[in-house]
Amino acid sequence: MDRNLPDLNRLQLNRRRMLALAVAAAAVPVLGACAGDTRKQKQAAAPVKSGVPTLDPNRPGNETWPFEEAEALNNSLTWPKTDVADPASKVSITVAMTSDVIAEVRNTQFDFFFKKRHPNIEVKREISPSIDDFLTKYMAQAAGGVLPDVMYNHYSWTQNFIANNVLHPLDDYVSKTPSFDMDDLPVKALGYFQRDGKLYGLPTDMAPKLLFFNGDLFDKAGIKHPDESWTVEKMMDTARKLTSGSGAEKVYGFSPMPIPAPDLSPLFLMPYGGRFLNADESAVLITEPAAAKAMGMWLDLLLKDKAVPSLAELQLLEKVEPFKTGHAAMHINGAWLMTELSKQKAFKWGATHVPKGPAGRFTPAVGSALVMPASSQNKDAAWIYMHEFLSSTGQQFRRISAPARQSAWEPNAEALGIPQDVAKLVKEVLADYASTDGVMKLPANKKVVNTAKPIWERAMLGKTDLESALREIADKVTPLLAENKIA
């Protein structure tokens, strides 16, 4: 008999075989999951609901944030007062935030002690671990006219919410709270949350971008560490000198390659007198000589000197920032990176001012805020919560690494193991030159970035020249800026 002929008796997939196949297939991922990383299981020993450990409601805490420590700290701090009176009867407010599992334990402890101080205010927390999911969820809720009483806001969202009359201005509440020290906040970084003289958001965290360096790589090459005197040219020259190796072992002089991101202008163009967009984000300026010169310098550093990671090399690195793994000598990032760097022992690191250019030194101050939606039915209670959460005391209690309250920097740095000299540097930069100037914040910012980025990627791949790429960016981005005209 021909072997190609189907043997129906033997080949038939009867119900029992199909069931066995399905069970076997389903068992594989389950067994695989059982054999996975046990370290994470140990960390999250408590029952988990939606990614957040289920905590004892009477003594919330875990290994990272023991209840006893939180209680002692809470009792040692002086909590600020406001002239806004507590509600006479029970009210409930909803607080929506994006938070990781670890920080959420601390936030739950904050709420626990807050409720002790304000027994008539019930706090319901809504948490989204992903910032993108958070925005999608609350945009959908906004369409339905239902928003929380207190809501997290990324700096790039707030102007869109303000333009669409979603937020309630906070100036009256601030004026009813004499102890609310506005001078303790980075005033130059409030622009994200202001419009027409009104303040719609108050920052939770705010940090400038700094130049980080790998001290070991500098010492090995016998090159002096970067300092305040450095210029962009000197940083690029040094990046060329410190680039070595190939493949997975390659060390880059600088990382990452600048791309059309919201803070492209202050970090890479304004030191040369250029800008991506003009100040009110209504016109594209990237084709002008100053900006084109700066972009060209970086493109040369990538294509000619190969001193910054290319797109292919980024895939090689699995999109992990090479500086964090000791494979880049210099890196510009937000000051919040200090927390992560302080925990690693693989290499010696340092941080200093971003380099200056012929037109000066610029760096963005970026962070997030809490806002109060206009639809809130319990605005007074919402303010009482915001006030304590955003106070220096609140930020010290929460031990966040880049507190918007300047008075919280040193105590938090000490608690988190961040070198005091770096904490002082951050405060100095925030007070001196970090600002919102040049950072895209108006409604079209995502469209602008997503439109310009693929064009710039083609330039990074060598598929188009600098002039053509910048002209194409200008042509395609210009029509999008009409969305930034806010009435």
Q: Per-residue x/- marks for another protein, 145-174, CB under 8 A?
A: ---------------xx--xxx--------
- Of 312, 346, 415, 431, which lies in the binding site for another protein, with binding defined by CB under 8 A? 312
| CA atoms of 145 and 136, how far apart (whole Å) | 14
Which of the stretches 81-89, 214-222, 286-294, 310-318 binds another protein when contact is defined by CB under 8 A? 310-318
- Binding to another protein by residue 306, rule CB under 8 A? no
- Binding to another protein by residue 453, rule CB under 8 A? yes
Residues 6+ apart with CB under 8 A from 51: 101, 127, 129
Nearest distance, CB of residue 358 and another protein, angstroms: 31
Nearest distance, CB of residue 172 and another protein, angstroms: 23
Could you count the other beta carbons within 10 Å of the beta carbon of residue 397?
24
Nearest distance, CB of residue 145 and another protein, angstroms: 11
| CA atoms of 152 and 204, how far apart (whole Å) | 9
Q: Letter for the amino acid at 341?
A: L
Which of the stretches 44-52, 138-146, 180-188, 300-308 binds another protein when contact is defined by CB under 8 A? 138-146
Nearest distance, CB of residue 125 and another protein, angstroms: 23
The length of the chain in residues reads 487
List own/partner pairs for 118-122 with CB under 8 A and 24 or more apart: 118/86, 118/381, 118/384, 118/385, 120/86, 120/87, 120/88, 120/89, 120/90, 120/91, 120/381, 121/86, 121/87, 121/91, 121/92, 121/93, 121/381, 121/384, 121/385, 122/90, 122/91, 122/92, 122/93
Which of the stretches 48-56, 202-210, 343-351, 448-456 binds another protein when contact is defined by CB under 8 A? 448-456
Q: Which is nearer to another protein, 166 or 202 (CB)?
A: 166
- Binding to another protein by residue 19, rule CB under 8 A? no
Which 25-64 positions form the footprint of another protein (CB under 8 A)? 25-26, 28-29
- Of 130, 360, 461, 467, which lies in the binding site for another protein, with binding defined by CB under 8 A? 461
- Binding to another protein by residue 230, rule CB under 8 A? no
Structure tokens at 188: 């130059």
| CA atoms of 430 and 218, how far apart (whole Å) | 27
Q: What torsion, rounded to 10 degrees, do the Cα atoms 400, 404, 405, 409 define? A: 50
| CA atoms of 350 and 342, how far apart (whole Å) | 10
**What is the size of the binding site for another protein (CB under 8 A)?**
51
Among 219, 221, 214, 216, residue whose Cα is nearest residue 244: 221
Q: Letter for the amino acid at 241?
A: K
Q: Which is nearer to another protein, 279 or 461 (CB)?
A: 461
- Residues in contact with another protein by CB under 8 A are 2-8, 10-13, 17, 20-21, 24-26, 28-29, 132, 136, 139-140, 142-143, 160-161, 164-166, 247-248, 310-312, 314-316, 318, 446-447, 450-451, 453-455, 457-458, 461, 463, 476
